[in-house]
Every structure is written in C-alpha cells, then in structure tokens.
Amino acid sequence: MTEKPTINQKIAKLGELTDWFYGDDFSLDQATEKYRAASSLAKEIETDLENLKNEITVIDKDFAKE
C-alpha cells in the first residue's frame, strides 16, 4: 500500500518541477507536460491546505465551546 504524500512532500515536488524551468535540462518539447504536472500539483496543494484550514476551524470551534 502506497502512502499519500504529505503537503510538505508535494510542495517540495512542486519546487523541483518549477526549478526545472530554470535549469539546464529545460526543453520546449517537455515544457507543456511539466507545466501541466506543476499546475495539477499546485491545485492539489491548494485543496489540501483548504481542507486543513477547515479542519483547524472545526477543532478551534470545539475548543471554544469548552
């Protein structure tokens, strides 16, 4: 069973993908594919952070009741 990558791991991978655009290995032939991968990963990170924010809000409300 494969573990789901953490937000930090996803951010690190996104950094690697964006660094590629500034590296010596840059190729126009691969740029579209890399851009799509980076865009998709950025959306995943955004969703993960929004879910985390919602979870923290719920926990915060639970503590406020006590």
Q: What is the pTM of this model?
A: 0.79
- How many angstroms separate the CA atoms of 8 and 17, rounded? 14
Which residue type, as a one-letter code, is found at position 64? A
**Spatial distance between the Cα atoms of 37 and 12, rounded to a whole number of angstroms:** 13
Whether residue 36 contacts residue 17, with contact meaning beta carbons closer than 8 Å, is answered with no
How does pLDDT run across 4-63, given as a tens digit for each residue?
Answer: 999 999 999 999 999 999 999 999 999 999 999 999 999 999 999 999 999 888 888 777
Residue type, position 60, single letter: D
Half-sphere exposure of 40 (CA within 13 A, CB side): 6
